[in-house]
Amino acid sequence: MTTLVTAENVSKRYGSVRAVDNVSFSIEQGKILGLFGPNGAGKTTLLKAVLGLTDCEGALSVLGFDPFRQRKELLRNICFIADVAVLPRWIRVEQLLDFVTATHPNFSRSRVEALLGRTKIRRNAKVRELSKGMVAQLHLSIIMAVDAKLLVLDEPTLGLDIIFRKDFYADLLSDYFDEERTILITTHQVEEIENILTDIMFIHNGRILLDSPMESLGEQYAELMTAGEAADTARGLRPLYEREVFGKSVMTFENVDRGRLANLGEIRVPSVADLFVAKVKGATS
């Protein structure tokens, strides 16, 4: 399998603060990776390094390029959608499509026209006349019309209604993603995307807490709902994190034999959101 992104002992300092602290990881081709972290965790800085927007210590390779020193070459095969619209508000849709057609060698005008044909976006409309949802549709249509190897999404549906968010990810899977492309997503709306992810990565205080395929979570983590004496017994197995729900204790365990939990309550694989909370709070307790 082809490795698109390789990071070895990557760090980034801002004065005395280490926004990214000696992280190492790889991202394979054909994966959809969810990168999650609390505010200030270092995920935005890490994304900037991957996109070549900032330099860093250590070794970082994206599509075989040094992203900071070879950004021009990198951008031919990478696309990025941020949490805020970056399209110029004064330009008309038709003019924007003309510009991208003339400047990006991997852009398909016929494909973007087909995608926009499924929306209500008028070609003579200026970007400032479009709703926030339409701007997002326009941006996504342009991105999906570029034959790129890596797509980076940073809170792409922030502030949009739930119907559009569902449609956004459905379109992403049906019209863009394939075994040749790779997607890196960061979002606080974890529950909405966990069903499309192949891999997850948690970052906190600049360090990676978890880097795992989704299919491996059930082997490594278990969530137990229990109460009374059984809860006391379960605590002896040193849960990663414990919370209370409707008077019962819900505990998250890491690398504990499920057989030891079987008679103590109800067992399930934790959701990505619950596991994220457990790993972050467990790391700070």
* Residue 89: domain span: 3-205
- Rounded Cα–Cα distance for residues 224 and 101 (Å): 54
Spell out the long-range contacts of 102-108 with Cβ–Cβ below 8 A and sequence spacing 24 or more. 104/76, 104/146, 105/76, 106/76, 106/77, 106/146, 106/147, 106/148, 107/142, 107/145, 107/146, 107/147, 108/145, 108/146, 108/147
CA dihedral 129, 133, 137, 140 (to 10 degrees): 120
**Residue 210 placed within a domain:** no
97 with 21, same domain? yes
Residue type, 229: E
For CA atoms 225, 226, 232, 234, the dihedral sign is: negative
234 with 126, same domain? no
Tens digits of residue pLDDT in 197-240: 999 999 999 999 999 999 999 999 999 999 999 999 999 999 99
- Rounded Cα–Cα distance for residues 133 and 209 (Å): 34
Domain ends where: 178, 205, 232?
205
**Residue 256 placed within a domain:** yes
Tens digits of residue pLDDT in 231-248: 999 999 999 999 999 889
- Rounded Cα–Cα distance for residues 94 and 101 (Å): 11
Tens digits of residue pLDDT in 138-189: 888 898 888 889 999 888 877 777 887 888 788 788 877 887 889 999 988 8
Q: What pLDDT score does 85 carry?
A: 62
Tens digits of residue pLDDT in 107-130: 999 999 998 988 899 999 999 999
- Rounded Cα–Cα distance for residues 48 and 67 (Å): 9
**Residue 223 placed within a domain:** yes
The β-bridge partners of 32 are: 183
Count of domains for the chain? 2
267 with 151, same domain? no
Task: Give the count of beta carbons closer than 10 Å to the beta carbon of residue 106.
Answer: 12
258 with 157, same domain? no
169 with 145, same domain? yes
**Residue 151 placed within a domain:** yes
**Residue 211 placed within a domain:** no
Structure tokens at 242: 């414990």
- The CATH number for 250's domain is 3.30.70
143-173 burial, b at 16+ Cβ within 10 Å, e below that, comes to: bbbbbbbbbbbbbbbeebeeebbebbbebbe
Task: Please report, rounded to a whole number, the percentage of residues in the chain having pLDDT higher than 70.
Answer: 98
